[in-house]
Structure 1
Amino acid sequence: MRHFLRYLGHRLYTTWATFWFVMPFVVTYPLQWALSRRPSGHRHLHSLNRAWSRLFIRMWGMPVEVVRHSPLPAGMPCVYVANHSSYIDIPLLFRTIPGWLNIMGKISLARVPVWGPIFGRAYITVDRDNAMSRGRAMVQARRSLEAGRSVVIFPEGSISKKPGEEMGEFKDGAFQLAIAAGVPLVPVTMPLNHRFMPDVGGLRVRYSPLAITLHTPIFTTGLTAADAPRLRQQAYDTIASGFRPDARGIPEPSTWRRLPTAPSGPAPKSAPQAPQNQELASTNS
C-alpha cells in the first residue's frame, strides 16, 4: 500500500507541475508570438518569460535557495557560465539573474513545436557540431554584449552524464567571448535541478528544493586569448565547488507495487582449498 501511495503522489505532483508550466504559456502564447516577431519586442518577451518562470516555480511549491557571493557589476553586461543538469536550468536562471538576458541554447530547442520558434527568434541557438553555426552564435553573443545585454552560456554544451557530481569538458567559446568583449565572467552553480527533473528520456518530476549560486565575478580586463584556458579552468573549479555530495544521483522511477527482491539465504559454502606451501611447511616443522 505504501508503494502505491508513493506512486500516486508522484503522478499527482507531476500533473500539478506540468499544469502550471503549460497553462501560463498557453494563456500568453498570442502575446509571446507577437513580441517574438519584432526585435523591439524581445526585451518585453524576456520580461514575460521571467514572470512565467517565477510563477510556475512558485506554484511548484518547493523552496529556492539563492546565494550571491558578491554584488554583480553595476551597469555592465556579463557572461554567465553555468553547469547544465536539467531542463529547468533556463527557467531558474531567468528567475534569478536580473536584467535583459540573452541565452545560448542548442538548436533543437528552436524545433520544439509551438514554443521553439519563439525561443529561436528571441535568443541565440547553436548547432555545436557545425563550425559555421558556432561562429555565427559567437558573433550574435558579442553583439548582444555590445548592446548591454548579458549572455548565459552552458560551456559543457549538453546536460551532464552525472549531474550534480561531474561536469563535461568545458568548451572555450564562452571564455574567449568574455575576454574579447572585456566583460566580467560570472560562474553559476545549480546543484539540485537534476533532483527535481532529471534528464532521463521521459518526464520524471520529484518534489525537491532548488538552489542557485552566483559566484564572485571574474574580471577579464587585461586578459588575452592566451588566458582563456586558465579562465576556463578557474570557472570550472568554481562551479564544481558549489556541488553538494548529498545531491548526487538522480531519483529512481516510481512503481505502484513493491519490486521483487532477491532471496536472502545463507551464503553458499566455498569449496575447501588445497593446503598452500605444504612442502615448505613440512621442511620447517
Structure 2
Amino acid sequence: MSRLLRFIGHRLYTTWATFWFVMPFVLTYPLQWALSQRPAWHRYLHTLNRYWSKLFIRMWGMPVETVGAHRLPVGHPCVYVANHSSYIDIPLLFRTIPGWLNIMGKSSLARVPVWGPIFGRAYITVDRESAVSRGRAMVQARRTLESGRSVVIFPEGAISKTPGQQLEPFKDGAFQLAIAAGVPIVPITMPLNHRFMPDVSGLRVRYSRLAIIVHPPLPTTGLTAADAPALKQRAYDLIASALRPEAGGIPEASTWRQPAPQPLVRA
C-alpha cells in the first residue's frame, strides 16, 4: 500500500511541476518569440526567462539553499563555470545570477520544438564534436564579455555520468576565454539538482531541496594561456569541494509494482 501511495504522490507532483513549467511559457510564448527576433531585444527576453525561472521554481515548492550570493560580481563581466547534473541547471542559474547573462548550451537545445529556436537565437549554442562550432562559440563568448555581459559555461561539456558524486574532466575553453578577456572565473556548485530531475529516459521528477553555492571569484589579471591548466584545476577543486556525496546517485523510478523476485542461484 505504501508503495502505491508513493507512486501516486510522485505522479501528482510530476504533473504539478510540469504544469508550472509549461503554463507560463505557453502564456508568454508570443512575447518570447517576438523578443527573440532582434538582438537588441534579447536583454528583455533574458529578463523574462529569469522571472519565468523564479516563478516555476517557487511554485515547485521546495526550498532552495543559496550560499555565497554576496560574491556575485556586480557591474563587470565574468565567466561563471558550474557543474552540470540536470536539465534544471540553467533555470537555477538564471534565478540566482542577476543581470543580463549569456549561456553556452549544446546545439541540440536549439532543436527542441517551440522553445529551442528561441534559445538558439538568444544564447550561444555549440556542437562539441565540431572544432568549427567550438571556435565560433568562443568568438561569440569573447564578444559577449567585451560588451560587458557575463557568460555561463559548463566546463564538463555534458551532464555528469555520476552526478553529485564526481565531476567529469573539465574542458579548457572557459579558462582560456577568461584569461584572454581578462575577466574573473566564478565557480558555482549545484550539488542536488539531479535529485529533483535526473538525466534519464522519460520524465522523472522528485520533490527535493535544491542548493547553489557561489565560490570566491578567481582573478585572471596577469595570467597567460600557460596558466589555464592551473586555473582550471583551482575551479575544479572548488566546485568539487561543495558536492554532497551522500546525495549522489539517481533517484529510483516510481512504480506501484513490487520488484520481481531474483532467480535462485544454484551452485
Give the structure-2-normalised TM-score.
0.97
* Matched letter for residue 165 of structure 1: Q
Contact 2:72 2:97 in 1 (8 A): no
Pick which of 141-150 and 62-71 moved more.
62-71
**Aligned partners of 2:72 and 2:23: how far apart in 1?**
33
**Aligned partners of 1:195 and 1:261: how far apart in 2?**
27
Q: Deviations over 1:152-171 (max 9, x none)?
A: 00001100000011111110
Contact 2:71 2:215 in 1 (8 A): no
For residue 263 of structure 1, report the CA deviation from its aligned partner.
8.6
What's the secondary structure of 1:191's corresponding residue? coil
- Structure 2 unaligned residues grouped into runs of 5+: none
* Count of aligned residue pairs for this structure pair: 267
Residue 36 (structure 1) aligned with residue 36 (structure 2): yes
The 5-angstrom pairing of residues 87-166 of structure 1 reads 87-166=87-166
For residue 248 of structure 1, report the CA deviation from its aligned partner.
1.0
Contact 2:71 2:214 in 1 (8 A): no
The 5-angstrom pairing of residues 1-285 of structure 1 reads 1-68=1-68, 71-262=71-262
**Aligned partners of 2:73 and 2:89: how far apart in 1?**
23
Q: Deviations over 1:244-272 (max 9, x none)?
A: 122111100111122244499xx99x9xx
What's the secondary structure of 2:186's corresponding residue? strand
For residue 76 of structure 1, report the CA deviation from its aligned partner.
1.0
* Matched letter for residue 255 of structure 1: T
What's the secondary structure of 1:116's corresponding residue? helix
Q: Deviations over 1:64-105 (max 9, x none)?
A: 000017523332101000000000000000000111000000
Contact 1:70 1:215 in 2 (8 A): no
What's the secondary structure of 2:85's corresponding residue? coil
* Matched letter for residue 135 of structure 2: G
**Aligned partners of 1:201 and 1:78: how far apart in 2?**
34
**Aligned partners of 2:145 and 2:245: how far apart in 1?**
35
**Aligned partners of 2:6 and 2:178: how far apart in 1?**
47
Contact 2:82 2:155 in 1 (8 A): yes
Give the structure-1-normalised TM-score.
0.91
Contact 1:35 1:45 in 2 (8 A): yes
**Aligned partners of 1:249 and 1:80: how far apart in 2?**
25
Asked which structure has the greater CA Rg, the reply is: 1
**Aligned partners of 1:42 and 1:20: how far apart in 2?**
23
For residue 30 of structure 1, report the CA deviation from its aligned partner.
0.2
Q: Deviations over 1:83-142 (max 9, x none)?
A: 000000000000001110000000000000000000000000000010011000000000
Pick which of 55-64 and 68-77 moved more.
68-77
CA 120–202 in structure 1, closer or farther in 2 if over 3 Å, else same: same
Matched residues, percent identical? 78
Contact 1:80 1:152 in 2 (8 A): yes
Q: Deviations over 1:148-204 (max 9, x none)?
A: 110000001100000011111110000000000000100000000000000012100
* Matched letter for residue 54 of structure 2: R
What's the secondary structure of 1:128's corresponding residue? coil
